[in-house]
């Protein structure tokens, strides 16, 4: 069977699969979190930006009160949003209050930029022309220094980054006294981001993969090698895409609010053999060589984050 956990550079164990909560429909998040925790999941991924951490907190409380899981057995991830990148602890405090927790297991820099902390909206401030209100020239390393300081507070057990390219990691690492434990990125056969994965492996930074099916609608479910491998193993294409990350040493985030799908996602992971992995790699390599990458999540920040597919 695929691995159940990976070991972080902190020595802590992180589950190989977790429940993602981004874009989950309002009113359904709490029950999804509660159900997942009572049916095998031990990792919940969230963020202040998702505007649903109150519901995530309700789901956590419900699962804990049911007596099947304890707080110390659950790995909770949150992220500081871009309007809080100059006041990181305040951002964490807001998340902790919503989650009803004293600490999170992992706190990430959601994106390495600064949106106006005094703008016209708490999460998505805009300029008069409607564009995102970005503070130009801000150094993301300054945010990381605040993240490092959080470790002394006990409010998070580990810190990491999200949506960091190879370029941005190379800017950060020389100034880091704490190496990020995680880099959470969009990752799937259509966007292998191998240059980031390889650098992270070299530096001991664990990859967490989001949008494993290619985001809304699951566009990668119909990719030829994915369908072929699914038929070979007698599973759904979604199982192949979720199982893709185990051999890569990465944690994958599966998003659903449907009980049947939540349970299916964690129970349908399979061992991809060397032939399967080679087929998926060949598919990825061809897309990269032809510059036909498939990135599905790229907010209109108007910032060059250094990703090769966005130059």
The neighbouring-strand residues paired with 45 are 20, 77
Catalytic residues: 50
Which position has the token pair 């995680």?
Answer: 182
d(CA 267, CA 1): 11
SS3 72: helix
Residue 195 contacts residue 308 (beta carbons within 8 Å): yes
pLDDT in tens, the chain (311 residues): 678 999 999 999 999 999 999 999 999 999 999 999 999 999 999 999 999 999 999 999 999 999 989 999 999 999 999 999 999 999 999 999 999 999 999 999 999 999 999 999 999 999 999 999 999 999 999 999 999 999 999 999 999 999 999 999 999 999 999 999 999 999 999 999 999 999 999 999 999 999 999 977 788 999 999 999 999 999 999 999 999 999 999 999 999 999 999 999 999 999 999 999 999 999 999 999 999 999 999 999 999 999 999 99
């Amino acid at each position: 069977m695929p691995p159940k956990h990976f070991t972080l550079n902190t020595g802590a164990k992180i589950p190989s699969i977790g429940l993602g909560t981004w874009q989950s429909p309002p009113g359904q998040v709490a029950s999804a979190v509660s159900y997942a925790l009572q049916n095998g999941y031990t990792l919940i991924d969230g963020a202040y930006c998702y505007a649903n951490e109150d519901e995530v907190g309700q789901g956590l409380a419900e699962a804990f009160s049911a007596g099947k899981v304890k707080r110390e057995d659950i790995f909770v991830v949150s992220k500081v949003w871009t309007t809080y990148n100059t006041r990181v602890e305040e951002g964490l405090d807001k998340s902790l209050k919503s989650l009803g927790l004293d600490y999170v297991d992992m706190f990430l820099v959601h994106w390495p930029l600064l949106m106006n902390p005094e703008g016209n909206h708490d999460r998505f401030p805009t300029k008069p022309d409607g564009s995102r209100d970005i503070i130009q020239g801000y150094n993301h390393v300054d945010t990381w220094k605040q993240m490092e300081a959080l470790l002394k507070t006990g409010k998070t057990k580990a810190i990491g980054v999200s949506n960091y390219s190879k370029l941005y990691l190379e800017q950060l690492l020389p100034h880091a006294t704490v190496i990020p434990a995680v880099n959470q990125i969009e990752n799937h056969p259509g966007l292998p981001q191998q240059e980031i994965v390889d650098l992270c492996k070299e530096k001991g930074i664990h990859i967490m993969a989001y949008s494993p099916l290619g985001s809304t609608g699951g566009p990668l479910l119909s990719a030829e090698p994915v369908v072929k491998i699914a038929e070979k193993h007698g599973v759904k294409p979604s199982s192949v895409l979720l199982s893709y990350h185990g051999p890569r040493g990465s944690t994958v985030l599966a998003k659903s609010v449907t009980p049947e799908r939540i349970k299916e996602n964690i129970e349908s992971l399979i061992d991809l053999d060397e032939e399967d992995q080679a087929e998926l790699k060949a598919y990825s390599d061809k897309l990269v060589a032809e510059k036909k990458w498939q990135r599905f999540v790229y907010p209109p920040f108007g910032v060059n984050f250094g990703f090769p597919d966005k130059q």
